[in-house]
Structure 1
């Protein structure tokens, strides 16, 4: 499909006006068309750093590994303080007086609001033996008489 644009190809300078050949070192489609019209091989117009000989020459040197532990001292990164308030390391002694501004519930015995017995709360109340404590339970799937009658 021809888009109507024209590009200038220079085989001596290895360049095209689309700049793809200049940037990559590999002939673009415009240059390949000109090379094909001249009955030449496109491999001769590829930059030398893509050839097998250049790649073998680049990787011919062997780099031996060096142990950095013997050469450099171990440098630890600097310690950073977290953005929050620093945590307290020590525990306060129990006989040390508390601040007066803040009241504590330490030492207060819990009393159940259902059975009024000291030692547990409403959530963990199991209902003591001998007491009639009504327990409300929700029954799933049971319809009442009002819900069953059509309107």
Structure 2
């Protein structure tokens, strides 16, 4: 924060008013198996429903329902071939990257299943029984870090066996155990005594319709200009 203050005072004042529990990794709660501080999930979903948002409310909800129903089925089929008690492929890929980086760390035993990992001036304590590390990353993401992987590899043990059960194939399939059921079309919906909702009057505004997200007034608009020379 001191470096940000020296670089941009207005950015420092904006960030200092925010709750660090929602944006700083060192303040995140342990045991949630998520160390992400960005909003990529919401941005991806908003990008998927960009065309559906232009339509009337019922049509929009129907398109979102169809997308979610199909996605749940595809993800359930995707995980059906994974081993039940081994980490899913995405976590396995992350562990393989950590295995390549762990060769730069030295592991020194200090007690029963307690070790110290060193890399020049850096040093961290690892406890395999409690699955803890002095940098807290193992408790945040659930699959470990380069220091825990180096320690487990030092003992010639399987790194995948120390991954939290949240990431094994059985738990993944349990997430999509109950799929969304299909439903009949509007031609088979029961009739009611209420007046049917009419679409709003079509008002054609000048210019092209806006499809991009409306930015908050606090967001600075980035202007990008290119010279016509050449």
Q: TM-score, normalised by structure 1?
A: 0.43
Structure index of larger Rg: 1
Q: Which has the higher contact order (CA 8 A, sep 6+)?
A: 2
Q: TM-score, normalised by structure 2?
A: 0.29
- Which structure carries more strand by proportion? 2
